[in-house]
Structure formats: C-alpha cells, structure tokens
C-alpha cells in the first residue's frame, strides 16, 4: 500500500537504510569475534564501527517507526514499534519488525550493562542477533512491496547473501576450533616431539 | 624458645591427656600403623569443642601456625576472615595433594585420619561453617569414609563431611580450581578477585585448608599454643611433614621440627650422593647440594637462597643423573598440566618445555637458553593462577644450578651415568574436559 | 588510592584493541596477548584508560582500586 506523504517515503527509506546498517553490524560483529581486520584500519575500528553502527541503526529504526506512525494514511499505534502485533495495519509483518527491534534493544541494553552482567547471559542475549536479523529481513520483505521487485529486491538479496556467507564463515571456524581441554595438547605437539625418551639420545660421556 | 600465655584457657577434654613431648606429633607413635578412633581418643582425647565461633582462632594465632599446603599463609588470618563473614560459610579440607612428588597428605590421612577429621570439626566450629568438604587425591576415598563412619557411630562429629575426589590434575588442588570442582564444574582456576574466602563455593566465603594444617589445629586445640611452640623456630613454630626423595631412590615422609638442618633429613646429601636438591616440589627451587647441606628447614633460611618450603617436598638428585633431563621431564609435565585458559601460559609453557628438552639433549643450541629466559619473563605474573610463576621458578633455578651441564651438553657431552628417571611423574596428558572433572 | 590496570587473562582472547588504544601502558607479547604496566595509572591518562577498558571486546581489561 503506497501513500504519497513525506512521512511514508521517509519510513520506507529509513527502513532500507536500517536493513543495510543491520547487515553491516552483524557482519562486523562476526568480524570482531574472529579478530578480523578491515583493510587499512586499526583493530579498534572494527569494534568501534560495530558498536556505533548498531546505535545508528537504532536511531534509523526509531525514525522509521515514528514516521510510519505519523503518516495519516494508515493507522499504526506508536506502541507497535516495540509491542509485536499491536498494529491493525499489516499486523503480522509489522509484528515481526517489533520482535526484531525488541531483540536489538535487549542486545544493546545488555551490552551497555555488560560489566554488571554474567558473561554467559550477555553472550546468550547477543546470540539473538542471529534471530533478529532474519526476522528484520522478513519484516522488510513482507510489510511493503518495495523489496519484492526492482533494485530493492537486488539489495535485499545482496544483504542476505552477505549475511549467509558471514555466518558460514563463523560456523566453519567454530567447527574447526580446538576445545579448551585439547588446546594444551595442541600447543605441546607444536613444541615437543610426541612421547619418546626424555633423555639425551646421543652418546653419554664424561 | 618464646614463652607465651595461652589466652584461650585450658582445652576442655573429658579425659586428661598428656601433651606429646618432642616428635612425633602428627604421625603415630608406631610408624606406619594407622590410629583408629579408639587409639586416637586414647592418645589425644575427644575433640575439645569450644562451644562457639571464633574461640579457637586466638589459640591458632598465638601458636603462630602457618599453612602447610605450600603458601605458608598465617592460618589465623584466614580463619578470622571467614569467621567474620556474615551468613553461610564453608570449610574444605584440601587433600588433593596434586604435587606428584608429595606424599605427606596421603600418609597423614592413612595413619592419622582422626587428627585431620578433628581439625575439620574444630575449625568448622571456629568459623561457624555450615558445610564441610574433604577433597581427596584420586583413589584414596575408601579408608577415610570408614573413619568418618566410625566417628558418626561414636557421635564425635557435629558437621557432616562430604567427600569428593579430585581429578588427577596438577592444578586440581588450587584454591579456586577446587571450589569450581566442588561446585560441579571442572577443576579449573578462576581469576582472583574475588578470593574464595570472600566468595567461594556457592558464593559463600570458603575456607580452604590443607589437611596437615587442620591436623595441627586439632593438636593446638588440645595442648595449646605454648606446647605448639616448644618445637620449631620463633618465627616458624611447630613441626611439618616433609616428603623426602632420597638419592638412593627411597621416598620417605618425615615429620620434622621446623628449623632442623636439611642434612639430617637427606641421607648422604653432604657427600657425593646428591648433585642438587629440589626444595618445594615442582614449583620449587633447585639448589646445589653443597648449599642445601648448610641450610635448615625453615623459610627464613631458605628465602636467602630464593627457595621456600612449599608443601615440604625435598628431592635430592643423585650425582649420577642428568639434572637437565630431570628438569626437562618435569617442565614438560607442568606445561601439559596448564589449564589452557590464559594465552601466555598456554603458549609460553610448552615453548619453555621445548627449550628445556633441547637443552637436555647434547648438541650445540643457539639461542635456546635465551629463548627460555625470554619466555620465562613473558609468562610470569600473566596467568590467572600461580602455575606459570611456579613453573618459571623451577625452570630458572634449574638453568642456574645446572649451568655447567648446559655447557657440557653444548659440547656434546653429559656427565650423567644413569638415564633412570628420578622425580615421580604421572603418565598421560589431559586432552578432554572429563580429564578435569 | 590509585587505580591499577589489570587484565583477566582467562577472558582475554588476544584481540589487541587495548594495545592500539593505550600504547603508553599496554604492549603485546609475541603471541598477541597484552602486557599491562602494573604501576598505578598516571592521572592524565585516565580518560584514555577508561575508553580502552570500555573498548575491550571481551571486557577482560579492568580498572581496579589499590
């Protein structure tokens, strides 16, 4: 359903930008975990960008939601931004958006309070990123016809591919990773011959 | 000897028992014969409970008892910290004895279990513990469970003791690793702060005490601090159990007065029997035999040579062995026993072990010793626990004491005439998570 | 009174962000792990120190009293 008001256009535009930002944030998050580098940039650039872009994404999403609410053509309550399925208009697809946004808010709040939280809890919430992003993509595709054709469709596919590749890369590393208990054995093998005599093998003389 | 008045008053005993004069104190009168509950009570009487928190601690302070598990921390201070805590507290008797060269805790539990078990009960009362654990060396559970059953039948204990066996890991007896294990996880150390005396098992302040220390407490509770100070030095009073590896290959557990000359413990240490003496176990210090022969069994004397008693292991390496080969074997073991949690330890210890293995084999080695020194400097103080630091202490002292051997090896020679390993080492290396539980 | 900088080596994964942000007090060893200056933090470096502590991806860096 396309309206002609500035609010509606702004909502759609900020929606697309948010999707791009979230794609970048997820990829950067994986890069941080893998200690990857962005060419030409220092290490702290990766962590900084990951955090800053996530905050920027939230800002864009806030505008995206508010402009959709303010647009008079359809009736969307402001609560629909965070309460899933609170909107009469496109209840399901907008509901997905709220779910995705709720997960993001949980991730950001736990990250801001990270020092006070149990590490396992922080990590578990942060892993919700892998749920939040696909839900955001589904919301993008379903809630307006924009991503269903033309260059926006291409953009959506490109984002999905990038995320898929990043996740595969992450999983491949997890599969290869040596568990803690075996890490020492690996380090030992690197520096010492396996088993065998601990004593000089050569001729002994005074 | 210092004279002190015992501020805690006479111990309350049902029968009057005479304080043991001289040695032995911990070990039974007849060597090697375990004291069952009847024999124990006949010799020492029933445990003299004070009837409240904190009362025994003054006696322990006056006695000047320090921990016998390796760190030699003033025992009363540890007790006071936990006793002062509000809420639930836990006591753990540490008999993991994860040091392969140490045998004293195993022996103590075998021949004088009731002294240790008394110590647990009396100390638990003093700190107001509501939970007691005994953490055992793997495979030693049976006899002690019988002793506990005996006491339960006789109504001697006020607090039930949960017995858990430690995994056969070098770090299993480390305070935070022990607490993790008792909490159901693997025996891996954690970062400190908070110390286990602040937050330990189940979040409660936990007192972890070596079993020998608890046995001493059980005696102090009966005979008082003045009696305790009759033996030992003014600064380090009392007796201690030592595990002595004699040059002829025999291993003995000897209860000795602190301050006794080392040469009275080691047979033939002054002669050609020993080349070097390792004091303090695998995290201890090598000293040339000639130097060791002049020293006494106390930290004040040993400290001047950079050594410490630790858990009382003394190993006199026979002159016909290669010190570098021994050091290389032990370092390899220590590296393999790293928890693998901290980058510097995980990377540095195997590298150091590799360097020692190179130095132990004859042949020119360019830069190996320098590498070992560099890595030693890199790992010190950079782990979550004391494992890298202890290992470096061992390695550095070996490189110093066996410097002549290093030069000889570089020229392709070795003065050793025997390849027989001397220091005891367990087989195998931990590779799975189960190896730590 | 003074603050000291410490790293929890169990949580540290050797990212190296700290050494980039605070070269005055932190350098990396040959395996990529931080070597932290143990002396009290100079007061004029305080803002950089706090920024670096916040930047650690695993929150392994800690500013501690005494």
Indicate whether B7 pLDDT > 60. Answer: no
Residues A53-87 have pLDDT tens digits of: 999 999 999 999 999 999 888 888 888 889 999 88
User: Which residue do the tokens 């008797």 mark?
Assistant: B93
Rounded Cα–Cα distance for residues B264 and B252 (Å): 13
Interface contact C20-A114, CB threshold 8 A = no
**Which residues pair with residue B276 across a beta bridge?**
B288, B317
SS3 of C34, please?
A: strand
User: For chain B, which domains are there?
Assistant: 20-228 (3.40.50.11540), 239-318 (3.10.20.600), 323-424 (1.20.1440.230)
What pLDDT, on a 0 to 100 scale, did the predictor assign at position B17?
Answer: 67
Q: What is the pLDDT of residue B268?
A: 60
Has residue B10 got a pLDDT over 90?
no
State pTM to two decimals. Answer: 0.91
Cβ separation B346–A202 shorter than 8 A: no
Residue B382: list chain C partners with CB under 8 A.
9, 33, 35
Mutate to test the interface with B, among C8, C10, C14 (most CBs of B within 10 A): C10
Percent of chain A with pLDDT over 90: 73
Query: Is-contact A181 B394, C-beta < 8 A?
Result: no
**Cα dihedral: A158, A164, A169, A171 (round 10):** 170
Is B218 in contact with B47 (CB distance < 8 Å)? Answer: yes
- Tell me the C-alpha distance between B321 and B405, whole Å: 11
* Domains in chain A, CATH or no CATH each: 3-191 (1.20.120)
Residue bearing the bigger pLDDT, B216 or C1: B216
Kind and range of the H or E element at B204?
A: none
The answer to whether B180 and B186 have CB atoms below 8 angstroms apart is: yes
- C-alpha closest to that of B291 among B327, B324, B321, B266: B266
Quick one: closest CA in C to B346, which residue? Answer: C31
Instruction: Using an 8 Å CB-CB cutoff, list chain A residues near C48.
Output: none
Burial of B311-324, coded b for 16+ CB within 10 Å and e otherwise, reads: bbbbbbbbbbbbbb
pLDDT in tens, B281-309: 999 999 999 999 999 999 999 999 999 99
Task: Judge: A206–B433 Cβ closer than 8 Å, yes or no.
Answer: no
List alpha helices for B3-112, DSSP H: 37-44, 55-63, 75-84, 104-111
Residue B393's Cβ-count burial label (10 Å; 0-12, 13-18, 19+) is buried
- Beta carbons within 8 Å of B111's beta carbon, 6+ residues apart: B27, B28, B32, B33, B34, B35
Spell out the residues 6+ positions from residue A81 whose beta carbon is closer than 8 angstroms to its own: A62, A65, A66, A69, A97, A98, A101
Residue the block writes with tokens 């111990």: B11
Nearest to B363 among A181, A185, A202 (CB): A202
Closest to B7 in 3D by CA, of B224, B237, B215: B224
Residue among A43, A114, A115 whose CB faces C16 most closely: A43
| Closest CA in chain A for residue C32 | A35
Among candidate residues B152, C34, B410, C11, the one with its CA nearest the CA of residue A119? C11
- Residue B2: the pLDDT is 27
* Residue C41 Cα, gap to closest chain A Cα (Å): 20
**pLDDT value, residue A1:** 46
Asked if pLDDT for residue A200 goes beyond 60, the answer is no
| Interatomic CA distance for residues B132 and B134, integer angstroms | 7
Whether pLDDT at B73 is above 50: yes
Coil vs helix vs strand at A52: helix
Predicted ipTM of the assembly = 0.95
Q: Does residue C8 belong to the interface with chain A, where contact is any CB pair within 8 Å?
A: no
Q: Once rounded to an integer, what is the mean pLDDT over residues B43-55?
A: 90
pLDDT in tens, B202-213: 999 999 999 999
Is C55 close to A44, i.e. CB distance below 8 A? yes
User: How many residues in chain C?
Assistant: 66
Tell me the pairing of strands B313-318 and B274-279. Answer: antiparallel
Which subunits count as partners of chain B given 3+ CB pairs below 8 Å?
A, C
Which residues in chain A are contacts of B339 at CB distance < 8 A? 180, 184
């Amino acid at each position: 359903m396309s309206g002609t008001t500035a609010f509606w256009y702004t909502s759609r535009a900020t929606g697309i930008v948010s999707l791009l930002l979230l794609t970048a944030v997820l990829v950067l998050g994986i890069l941080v975990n893998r200690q990857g580098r962005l060419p030409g940039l220092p290490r702290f650039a990766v962590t900084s960008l990951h955090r800053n872009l996530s905050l920027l994404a939230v800002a864009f999403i806030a505008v995206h939601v508010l402009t959709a609410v303010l647009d008079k053509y359809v009736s969307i309550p402001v609560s629909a931004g965070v309460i899933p399925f609170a909107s009469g208009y496109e209840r399901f697809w907008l509901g997905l958006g709220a779910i995705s946004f709720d997960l993001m808010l949980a991730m950001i709040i736990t990250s801001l309070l990270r020092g006070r939280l149990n590490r396992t809890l922080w990590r578990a919430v942060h892993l919700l990123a892998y749920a939040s992003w696909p839900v955001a993509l589904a919301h993008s595709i379903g809630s307006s016809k924009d991503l269903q054709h033309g260059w926006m469709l291409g953009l959506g596919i490109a984002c999905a591919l990038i995320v898929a590749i990043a996740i595969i890369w992450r999983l491949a590393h997890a599969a290869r990773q040596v568990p803690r208990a075996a890490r020492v054995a690996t380090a030992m093998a690197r520096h010492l011959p396996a088993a065998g005599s601990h004593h000089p093998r050569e001729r002994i003389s005074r | 000897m210092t004279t002190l008045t015992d501020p805690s008053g006479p111990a309350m005993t049902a029968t009057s028992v005479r304080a043991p004069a001289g040695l032995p104190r911990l070990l039974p009168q007849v060597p090697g014969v375990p004291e069952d509950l009847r024999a124990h009570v006949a010799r020492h009487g029933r445990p003299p409970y004070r009837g409240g928190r904190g009362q025994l601690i003054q006696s322990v302070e006056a006695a000047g008892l320090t921990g016998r598990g390796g760190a030699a921390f003033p025992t009363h201070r540890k007790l006071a910290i936990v006793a002062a805590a509000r809420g639930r507290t836990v006591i753990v008797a540490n008999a993991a004895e994860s040091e392969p060269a140490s045998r004293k805790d195993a022996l103590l539990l075998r021949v004088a279990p009731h002294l240790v078990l008394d110590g647990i009960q009396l100390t638990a009362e003093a700190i107001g513990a509501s939970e007691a654990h005994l953490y055992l060396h793997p495979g030693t559970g049976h006899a002690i469970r019988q002793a506990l059953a005996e006491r339960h039948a006789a109504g001697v204990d006020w607090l039930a003791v949960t017995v858990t066996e430690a995994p056969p890991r070098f770090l299993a007896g480390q305070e935070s690793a022990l607490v993790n294990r008792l909490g159901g996880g693997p025996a891996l150390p954690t970062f400190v702060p908070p110390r286990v005396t602040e937050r330990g098992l189940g979040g409660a302040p936990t007192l972890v005490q070596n079993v020998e220390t608890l046995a001493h407490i059980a005696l102090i509770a009966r005979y008082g601090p003045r009696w305790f100070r009759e033996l030992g030095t003014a600064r380090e009073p009392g007796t201690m159990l030592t595990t002595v590896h004699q040059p002829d290959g025999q291993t003995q557990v000897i209860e000795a007065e602190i301050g006794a000359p080392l040469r009275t413990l080691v047979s033939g240490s002054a002669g050609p029997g020993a080349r070097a003496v390792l004091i303090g176990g695998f995290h201890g210090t090598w000293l040339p035999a000639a130097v060791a022969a002049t020293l006494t069994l106390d930290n004040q004397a040993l400290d001047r040579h950079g050594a410490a008693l630790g858990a009382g292991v003394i190993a006199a390496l026979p002159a016909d062995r290669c010190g570098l080969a021994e050091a290389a074997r032990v370092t390899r073991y220590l590296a393999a026993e790293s928890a693998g949690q901290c980058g510097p330890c995980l990377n540095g210890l195997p590298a150091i072990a590799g360097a020692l293995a190179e130095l132990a084999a004859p042949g020119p080695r360019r830069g190996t010793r320098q590498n070992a020194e560099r890595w030693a400097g890199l790992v010190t103080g950079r782990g979550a626990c004391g494992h890298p630091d202890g290992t470096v202490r061992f390695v550095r002292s070996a490189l110093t004491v066996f410097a002549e051997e290093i030069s000889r090896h570089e020229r392709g020679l070795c003065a050793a005439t025997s390849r027989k390993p001397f220091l005891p080492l367990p087989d195998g290396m931990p590779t799975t998570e189960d190896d730590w539980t | 009174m003074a603050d000291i900088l410490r790293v929890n080596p169990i949580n540290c994964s050797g990212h190296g962000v700290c050494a980039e942000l605070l070269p005055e007090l932190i350098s990396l060893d040959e395996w990529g792990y931080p070597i932290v200056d143990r002396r009290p933090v100079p007061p004029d470096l305080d803002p950089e120190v706090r920024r670096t502590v916040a930047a650690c991806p695993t929150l392994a860096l800690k500013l501690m009293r005494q």
